[in-house]
Amino acid sequence: MTGFMRNLRSGLAFIPFVWRAQLAYSYSVWINLVIETLGLVLVYYFWRAVYVGHTTIQGYPESTAVSLMVWARIFAVLLTNSNGLEYVGLSYFGRLVRDGELATELLRPVDLQWVSFTKSLGRLAFELVLRIPLILIATVVFDVALPTHPLSWLQFLSSAFLGYTIIYLFDWTLSCLAFVTTATWGLNMIRWGVAAFLGGTLIPVSWLPPALAAVALHSPFGQALAVPLSLLLDGVANPPWSWIVLEQLGWIVVYTIVSRYVYGQAQKVVTIAGG
Amino acid sequence: MRRYLSLYGYFLTLRIKTLLSYRLDFVIGAVASAVMQTSTFLALFFILRQTGTMEGWTLPELQLLYGSLILSLALNQMFADNLWSMTHLVRSGKFDTFLTRPVHPLFHLLAERFNHVGIGDFVCGSILVALAAPSLPFVFAGWRMLYWMLSVLAGGGIFFSLNLLCSVSAFWLLDSVTITRVVFDNHQFAKYPLTIFPYLLYGLLTFLLPYGLAAFHPIAWLLGKPGALPALLPLVCALALTSVSIVLWCRALPRYTSAGS
């Protein structure tokens, strides 16, 4: 219990530093906002074009599909640890090994996985705050429906938090590959491509063939984005919130065990460079 | 010219030997980019399976457009990716190296780093076009094939010249990545028919950041789609833009002040 409290205190203490580090290069924050806004414009007009000559596709009217894809674009940050500073992921682990920082990290009297998780949550909170202008653009300029019921938001946020935990643990497991290969950039790109597809940022998951949709929804990427988004929007088919949360908690238990085991094994084979 | 070609071959051989010393990394790097492109195209495939067309464009037509843009992007990625390193080179003073060798600095900068990641994109783009070809409303051969190949090359030129123009900012601001990212990200629009966007975006992507000339206009002209510019205009514009960007880069070069010690 003392160890847990120490880890908790250490982790929370890092959050203000994470925010300061993210703001150190303020121009990059603005540039990211410009790029994200461009992405939003692209998604909006693309999906409007998809519906030319159609009133509904796969049971989705145009307004639902456009809203879903715009929100997926805005909240795609739930899928990734690669915007700005990273605290998990192949690139981060690769750097730890390459520069020899891993040795220092492992010597600290705190749990690296837990501390990185809290830092990662701090970074996510920062990114979500940066999404506020995008939400305003989406609702004011593009007239995209914004859920007004507080319960929808509560359900979305709780499921998004659990989903983010799942993807964090998944990424932690995957990142251990950096201990045995130097091809972290390529592997990261592959992870991004798969995440974008299965997470539902490119197409609504329910539009995929049934088997692929099932894989997507139960994958860490679907759990992190497509599933929480289904709670945010009316008219998007989804199981009850309680069932979703139960499944997410189950995945968290599974991925915690797997990530701890793989990380433990990886530590035995890692060769730390630098010095 | 012959000397430069032979030098380029030497640089390329050296780079490939270096890359192949980590074979798995080489393969993963080449495959990675293709996975990214494939996932985006798969989404388009599943959407078109539901709708049949998008603003009058069928799946093979969109496939030709998408594949052509990827091929142009791949050419730039393979042969001109080092432009993304300008910030690092200028800030660290390593750019000095390019000024002390008996070859043109721009040639040396480009020849120094062949990016194998573009191979994946090139293969992916070629497969998409090859699969689309039999289903297109014309026979994809003869002068049409020649025009398409020239348009892909011209597209590569447009990607190159826009990146080159952005890289110039490193000589003044010591940072070119920021502006390059903002400009480069606009190429995502050009993967789709520009006619789906408002006139303002159509104009922007045709005349100001002409990624539309890289694929949309030549392909739309080949397919007889609305919104296409005359056939030769994209090729001429690409040639002019490439020449202007090279001249401007060379003119800006004296602005470089070494930061190293």
Residue A33 in this model has a pLDDT that exceeds 80: yes
**A53-72 residue pLDDT tens:** 899 998 899 998 999 999 99
CA-closest candidate to residue A92, choices A128, A125, A123 = A123
CA distance A12 to A119: 8
CA-closest candidate to residue B33, choices B156, B148, B115 = B115
Lookup result for tokens 């990716």 = B81
What is the value of pTM for the model shown? 0.89
Categorize the per-residue pLDDT at B206 as very low, low, confident or very high, splitting at 50, 70 and 90: very high
Interface of B with A in 216-245 (CB under 8 A): none
**A185-239 residue pLDDT tens:** 888 888 989 999 999 999 999 999 999 999 999 999 999 999 999 888 866 667 7
Cα separation values, A179 from A110, A272, B39, B193, Å = 20, 9, 27, 44
CA distance B90 to B93: 5
d(CA B98, nearest CA chain A) in Å: 27
Option in A189, A190, A207 nearest B46 (CB): A207
pLDDT at A227: 93
Option in B22, B181, B196 nearest A35 (CB): B181
CB B122 within 8 A of CB B73: no
Helix/strand/coil for B215 = coil
**B83-96 residue pLDDT tens:** 999 988 988 888 88
Q: Report the complex ipTM.
A: 0.88
Percentages of chain A per state (helix, strand, coil), in multiples of 5 = 75, 0, 20
Burial class, A152, CB count within 10 angstroms (exposed 0-12 / middle 13-18 / buried 19+): middle
Mean pLDDT lowest among A14-18, A135-139, A210-214: A14-18
Mean pLDDT computed over every residue of chain B? 91
Option in A27, A183, A207 nearest B28 (CB): A183
Mean pLDDT lowest among A11-15, A106-110, A158-162: A11-15
Percentage of chain B with pLDDT > 70? Answer: 99
pLDDT at B33: 87
CA distance A228 to A245: 10
Phi/psi of residue A60, each to 5°? -100, 120
Residue B237 in this model has a pLDDT that exceeds 90: yes
Categorize the per-residue pLDDT at A83 as very low, low, confident or very high, splitting at 50, 70 and 90: very low
Question: Which region holds residue A89: left if phi is over 0, alpha if psi is between -120 and 50, else beta?
Answer: left
Categorize the per-residue pLDDT at B47 as very low, low, confident or very high, splitting at 50, 70 and 90: very high
Partners of residue B43 in chain A, C-beta under 8 Å: 197, 202-203
CB contact under 8 A, B39 and A181: no
> What's the whole-number mean pLDDT along residues A151-167?
92
pLDDT at A274: 56
